Amino acid sequence: MEPLTQTTVVAIQDQSQVALARRTATEFANIAGLDEQRTSAANIVAVELANNLLQHAGSGQIYFSFSAPSGSFEIVSVDHGRGMTSVNRCLEDGFSTSSTPGLGLGAVQRFASRFGAFSVPNRTTVVSAQMTDARPQFDFGVICIPIQGETLSGDSWAVSEDGSTFLVVDGLGHGIFASDASRMATSIFLKHQSSTPKQLLEMMHSAMRSTRGAAAAIAQINRTERKINFAGIGNIGCMIVGQERNQSLVSHNGTLGHQMRRVQEFQYSYQPSDVLLMQSDGLTTQSKQGIPPHLMSQPPSVIAAFLFSEQLRGRDDATLLVNRLG
């Protein structure tokens, strides 16, 4: 069974879409294998987040995702309304809303196995609820969606079983043929997880000649030595974001399966507080308003949703993977 890599996005613009959010939560809870009690909790979280968006922002989006490698099922709301001047104040029971089953964001926090909330007033607000306990070696968040009008994303991503190696791949164009190309790349990655980034890209290039082709980047993390071995072909943007400096990772031009003149592996050092960002070109390289202070101290799912919502171009499939290097 292939890992479920796409994110489901539910737009919340009126009360009728609250029920859709609840049904989507049930679907993902079933995929994640939750029992009846935890499924009910996921339903309440989805309803509370949806009502919170309507009452305090007017509208917004809820992202639903399940990561098979980590076992993590997450529900994340995003809006661009007036925001929260005090997150702690908004977590008090009854503050968010007094007319829904769980009494607002305080209930969301209690039901979540991991909770995060971050708000820049009059800009972007994110609330994240992880509904399952992720395996301890995994601390990443990812959003992967198709272009509007398509059901399949031409982007894909994967992570090795030990949580040390990450892939983001973008099949050329969008739709089913782009999806076929990216899925072939992820299949090779998962079959040869112990190989180096350079070796993996070379195998992908040979195997993908019959496909539309793709751009891809692979980061292999050595947490003992605090080093990243990295290789990329094409326009997958990757960056180490830290308190002291940001460093872009170098990829070579080309298209896997068609043209790859050179593949080269680079090594980068990182600090324990650093975060790795990997993104397809469905997103701009950075937010026009910059990265706000303290965002990088939030859970990866919060970071991913905040940046994704501000950098989405809207004219291609889009993926953002955020990994806390630790």
How confident is the model at residue 238, as a pLDDT?
97
- Residue 155 is given by DSSP the state E
Q: Is residue 293 part of a domain?
A: yes
Angle CA 191–225–229, to nearest 5 = 45
Residues 114, 148: one domain?
A: no
Last residue of a domain, one of 105, 130, 155: 130
Last residue of a domain, one of 68, 97, 130: 130
Q: Is residue 195 part of a domain?
A: yes
Residue 78 token pair: 């995003």
Q: Is residue 135 part of a domain?
A: no
Give the distance from CA 326 to its chain's centroid: 18
How confident is the model at residue 116, as a pLDDT?
92
Residues 202, 103: one domain?
A: no
Q: Is residue 282 part of a domain?
A: yes
Domain containing 145 — which CATH number? 3.60.40.10
Q: Are residues 317 and 145 in contact, defined by beta-carbon separation less than 8 angstroms?
A: yes
Q: Is residue 1 part of a domain?
A: no
The total domain count for the chain is: 2
Residues 200, 319: one domain?
A: yes
Last residue of a domain, one of 92, 111, 130: 130
Residues 310, 166: one domain?
A: yes
Residues 120, 145: one domain?
A: no
Domain containing 58 — which CATH number? 3.30.565.10
Residues 126, 146: one domain?
A: no
For 38, how many CA atoms within 13 A lie in the half-sphere containing its CB? 18
Residues 49, 179: one domain?
A: no
How confident is the model at residue 97, as a pLDDT?
42
Residues 170, 270: one domain?
A: yes
How far apart are the C-alpha atoms of 191 and 212, rounded to whole Å?
21
Chunked into runs of 10 residues, the chain (326 residues) has average pLDDT values of 74 95 96 94 95 92 91 94 77 51 75 93 94 79 93 94 95 94 96 96 97 97 96 96 90 95 94 94 86 90 96 93 92
Question: What is the residue range of 37's domain?
Answer: 8-130
Residues 118, 146: one domain?
A: no
